[in-house]
């Protein structure tokens, strides 16, 4: 390893096919159809894939595409896709079990099966965005919702969750403390947890969440026929990265090179890669990148990220603002993009690599590279999560 912030994945083999083990984590089947169905929904728009030729030139790469999730459903983050689809899938499954047929999305929206669906209370732990997404999903289908927030989540994010009709409980601790409290209270009360992270015996819902995230990747496939050669994707527990890596792995031959970016204090994927198995972060996850402030990976994602991410890297706190500024005040002719601290993290990763000659060479970047970075959230009006 030439850098203490960049590490190759020794398990990533280019010839490993996307197989059954991967399909269990993120199943690409039905995603194009789901995207087509969403078009019937008035809030749905394809989010932009911006091209930034001036910045690409400055960085010495061929093309730079930024998938801009700041505009997802007017919600401000990609998370909306996961929360809404996962709530839908739980309700649809309950109706299907009772009547032996699956209801349509539209029927559930119209409250057609309230005799089955009304009894569900949804709960989740979140550093903000996922909670807002689950609250939005619960409200859409008319269900009660309780969100557990870590101590450091901003008042704006708490307000945004309450504005979607959810009850909020603050815990005296970080994201992982919120997960533990959510599990305890949900067990006591019979609530259904819509978690974006998995644990032993709890995988179906996080898989539904990731299923929803794949919609944004299918959009990229349609928007960029040539596809990227390199993909920078930020990770908290790894749900977004698994959806991006898994979907592109399944769709492209050869698959692009994947680089997973994390805050240095929340480097659970970086450490897991070094150890060769799920391993906690080396720091206390006290980062301004609230959506990425996770100390443990989502274990169900290992067969995708652990076997196909090509490099893992970290970024430092002072690297966030320059990336965010560069998106908001772009170089000549490039589009301006609104981002939050977690949103711009993948670009911050690319900037770090491009500022270091050895890292740039190691990743095989150059004038022929087509690089994709994900702006996973817009400027939600705060510096922290
Ligand atoms: C804006 C933003 N980006 C990225 C992530 C990381 O997603 P994951 O935890 O699935 O890795 C999150 C998670 O909450 C987020 O809110």
Which residue has the least CA distance to atom 9 on ligand 1? 236
Pairing of strands 311-315, 6-8: antiparallel
The pTM of this model reads 0.94
Q: Identify whether residues 260 and 162 lie together within a single domain.
A: no
Provide mean pLDDT across the span 269-284: 98
Q: Identify whether residues 218 and 189 lie together within a single domain.
A: no
Q: What are phi and psi of 261, to 5 degrees?
A: -110, 135
Q: Which atom of ligand 1 is nearest to the CA of 290?
A: 16
Q: Identify whether residues 91 and 213 lie together within a single domain.
A: no
> CA separation (Å) from 211 to 23, 44, 82, 168?
10, 17, 7, 26
Q: Which atom of ligand 1 is nearest to the CA of 213?
A: 10
Q: Which atom of ligand 1 is nearest to the CA of 130?
A: 14
Q: Identify whether residues 214 and 189 lie together within a single domain.
A: no
Q: Identify whether residues 128 and 169 lie together within a single domain.
A: yes
350 vs 41, higher pLDDT: 350
Residue 383, in any domain of the structure: no
Q: 205, 225, 259 — which closes off a domain?
A: 205
Ligand 1 neighbours, Cβ below 6 Å, are: 77, 79, 127, 129-130, 196, 234-241, 291-292, 294, 342-343, 376-377
Q: Identify whether residues 226 and 247 lie together within a single domain.
A: yes
pLDDT of residue 381: 62
280, 295 in Cβ contact below 8 A? yes
Residue 385, in any domain of the structure: no
Residue 380, in any domain of the structure: no
Q: Identify whether residues 334 and 233 lie together within a single domain.
A: yes
Q: Of the given ranges (14-23, 68-77, 184-193, 219-228), which has the lowest mean pLDDT? A: 68-77
pLDDT of residue 44: 83
Q: Identify whether residues 119 and 174 lie together within a single domain.
A: yes
Strand partners of residue 90: none
383 vs 82, higher pLDDT: 82
Residue 382, in any domain of the structure: no
Q: 181, 205, 229 — which closes off a domain?
A: 205
Instruction: Grade residue 40 by pLDDT with cuts at 50, 70 and 90.
Output: low
Q: Identify whether residues 216 and 352 lie together within a single domain.
A: yes
Q: Identify whether residues 278 and 334 lie together within a single domain.
A: yes
Q: Which atom of ligand 1 is nearest to the CA of 209?
A: 10
Q: Identify whether residues 157 and 73 lie together within a single domain.
A: no
Range of the domain at 26: 6-77+207-375
Q: Tokens standing for 82?
A: 């996961």
Number of domains in the chain: 2
CATH value at residue 316: 3.40.50.1100
Q: What is the pLDDT of residues 130-187, one digit of tens each?
A: 999 999 999 989 999 999 999 988 898 899 899 999 999 999 998 889 989 999 999 9
Residue 60, in any domain of the structure: yes
Residue 127 C-alpha to ligand 1 middle, in angstroms? 9
Q: 189, 205, 221 — which closes off a domain?
A: 205
Out of 132, 150, 152, 239, give the residue to mutate to test ligand 1, the one with the largest number of ligand atoms within 8 Å of its CB: 239
Residue 112 C-alpha to ligand 1 middle, in angstroms? 33
Q: Identify whether residues 68 and 38 lie together within a single domain.
A: yes
Q: Tokens standing for 168?
A: 């909020």
Q: Which stretches of 100-174 are DSSP H helices?
A: 105-109, 114-117, 129-141, 155-162
Q: Which atom of ligand 1 is nearest to the CA of 340?
A: 1
Residue 257 C-alpha to ligand 1 middle, in angstroms? 20
């Amino acid at each position: 390893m030439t850098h203490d912030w960049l590490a190759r994945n020794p398990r990533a083999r280019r010839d490993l096919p996307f197989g059954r083990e991967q399909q269990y984590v993120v199943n690409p089947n039905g995603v194009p159809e789901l995207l087509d169905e969403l078009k019937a929904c008035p809030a749905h728009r394809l989010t932009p894939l911006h091209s930034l030729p001036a910045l690409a030139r400055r960085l010495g790469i061929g093309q730079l595409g930024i998938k801009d999730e700041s505009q997802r459903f007017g919600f401000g983050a990609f998370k909306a896709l996961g929360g809404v689809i996962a709530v839908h899938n739980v309700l649809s499954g309950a109706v299907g079990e009772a009547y032996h047929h699956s209801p349509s999305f539209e029927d559930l929206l119209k409250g057609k099966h309230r005799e089955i669906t009304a009894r569900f209370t949804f709960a989740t732990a979140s550093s903000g965005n996922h909670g807002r997404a689950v609250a939005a999903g619960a409200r859409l289908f008319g269900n009660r919702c309780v969100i557990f927030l870590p101590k450091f989540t901003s008042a704006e994010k708490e307000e945004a969750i309450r504005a979607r009709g959810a009850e909020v409980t603050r815990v005296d601790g970080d994201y992982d403390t919120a997960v533990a409290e959510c599990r305890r209270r949900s067990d006591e009360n019979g609530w259904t947890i819509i978690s974006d992270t998995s644990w032993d015996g709890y995988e179906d819902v996080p898989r539904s969440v990731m299923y929803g995230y794949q919609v944004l990747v299918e959009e990229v496939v349609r928007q960029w026929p040539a596809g990227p050669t390199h993909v920078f994707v930020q990770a908290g527990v790894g749900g977004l990265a698994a959806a991006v890596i898994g979907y592109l792995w399944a769709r492209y031959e050869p698959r692009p090179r994947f680089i997973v970016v994390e805050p240095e204090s929340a480097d659970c994927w970086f450490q897991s890669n070094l150890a060769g198995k799920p391993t906690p972060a080396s720091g206390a996850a006290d980062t301004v990148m609230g959506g990425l402030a996770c100390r443990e990976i989502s274990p169900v994602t290992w067969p995708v990220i652990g076997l196909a991410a090509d490099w893992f890297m970290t970024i430092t706190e002072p690297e966030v603002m320059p990336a965010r500024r560069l998106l908001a005040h772009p170089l000549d002719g490039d589009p301006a993009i609104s981002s939050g601290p977690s949103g711009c993290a993948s670009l911050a990763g690319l900037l770090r690599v491009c500022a270091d000659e050895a890292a740039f060479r190691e990743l095989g970047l150059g004038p022929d590279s087509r690089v994709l970075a994900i702006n996973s959230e817009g400027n939600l009006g705060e510096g922290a999560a």
